[in-house]
Structure 1
């Protein structure tokens, strides 16, 4: 085995032990079996901040940017299903306010400008969901 890659040996041993554990049924009936994995996507977080974000997340705290993004997403989802036109207008005003506040705080461009294709798609999506229910409750 001279000159062999030590990682391939470790990988071989690990795979063998996993196969043995599977054959013994050690992986049967684990919590969450058959459910999708709940993996956090941290690709939008700079690599040097990922550990801090993970610690904050585990402590139940969200960084302001992520909390704001989550709230914006929740608001857009709510607008799609809103049947009351007056409530829809109020929530659209809230959405505009939140976007303006985010721009001021972050001092950077938030991708929801009126000349932005995403903004147009968002408005199309919202107006299409309003057409689904022509008779608001």
Structure 2
């Protein structure tokens, strides 16, 4: 292979790496690229999100994000220990739904509304899930407070 008269530093680094064999035996070498469905204009974004395991829930419209959150109830609440904490989460969700309904709709998008949830119904289902999971864990006891010695008694 005849080298050109001038070789940029990048081209030189690539040539030297090829000579050292650093590009040999790479995964997927000699195989065609799998581009999937290239008729979808956002195919590359979907592949990137899948490959990098990105979470785009923050980019969703608020009503869609609220609907997604409601779809996980009451299973997502099983980690909460008390009925008051479950009630607080559900009432906070309903408050966020009501606030979302007060926002003016985007004229470029169809208006989406997230439904409020029935707090008492979900509390009953949460109790059933907790009962099926087994006995509740004991509350951890607070450690005894240490007595501090005064500075003049330390000596």
What TM bracket, shorter-length normalisation? 0.3 to 0.5
In the superposition, the TM-score normalised over structure 2's length comes to 0.34
Q: Normalising by the residue count of structure 1, what TM-score does the alignment of the two structures yield?
A: 0.37
Higher helix share: 1
**Structure of higher CA gyration radius:** 2
